[in-house]
Amino acid sequence: MSGDLFPRGIIFDLDGTLVDSAADVAVILNGILRETGLAPFSAREVKVLMGEGISALIRKALRLRDVDAPEADLRRLSDRFLERYSRDPVSSTRPFPGARDILCGLAGEAVAIGVCTNKAETPARLILERLGLADHIGVVVGGDSGFGRKPDPRPLLACASRLGIPPSQLVYVGDHHIDVETARAAKVPVVAAAYGYSGAPAVNFGADRVIWCLSELPLVVHGLTEETCALQ
């Protein structure tokens, strides 16, 4: 994993990239839907709804059940979701294969590591801590951290700033087309995780590289920041 062409920093998306969390999200979402008399979704269906934060998750779920809720109801349901989810966000959530080893290896190479997610910051931190991933992660920026939500580039740029790494010297890794759009807007090289939750082929996102498992990451990011700078 060593080499002069390795990026100074790597920032990861969380759900569908570092951790497989859809089962826990589905439990909370379906509980709220049942209370409103609506049919639940499978964990596979919930994966496709994820990626844009709690409010967007609930809005999309309601619309698929032919319910167009006013903003006040969405806020109330989102608050209920966050309160319940924050109690135990890791009942079924697990790191994707290789996540711990990759983070440990990056830290051993003095690569700064961050997480930029549309998930609320509190459950994001709880997940990382309880799954043993937090030790090597220097910065966590969530959807409620005050920088907006992806695809707005501000949360990614804020994460880079807190790591002390220029955007051109880091790589963003995410599983959704939103992650690629965010990275492009921030002028950050980006790797798409094809094993994630997007529901669409990652090769079509326009990322600089695509991986099918986390163990491929060290190979594909080698030299990527230099290549991207040369093209700009």
Q: Which amino acids are annotated catalytic?
A: 13
**Cα–Cα distance between 76 and 79 in angstroms, integer?**
5
**Cα–Cα distance between 63 and 61 in angstroms, integer?**
6
- CB neighbours of 96 closer than 8 A, spacing ≥ 6? 17, 18, 19, 20, 195, 213, 214
Backbone angles phi, psi at 89, to 5 degrees: -85, 5
Q: Which position has the token pair 């979704």?
A: 41
Backbone angles phi, psi at 15, to 5 degrees: -65, 125
HSE-CB for 124 with a 13 A CA cutoff: 25
Contact 172, 190 (CB under 8 A): yes
**Cα–Cα distance between 125 and 59 in angstroms, integer?**
24
12: left (phi over 0), alpha (psi -120 to 50) or beta: beta
Angle at which helix 54-64 crosses helix 71-87, to 10 degrees, equals 120
Specify the length of the chain in residues. Answer: 232
Tokens of 4: 């002069």
Tokens of 52: 């844009």
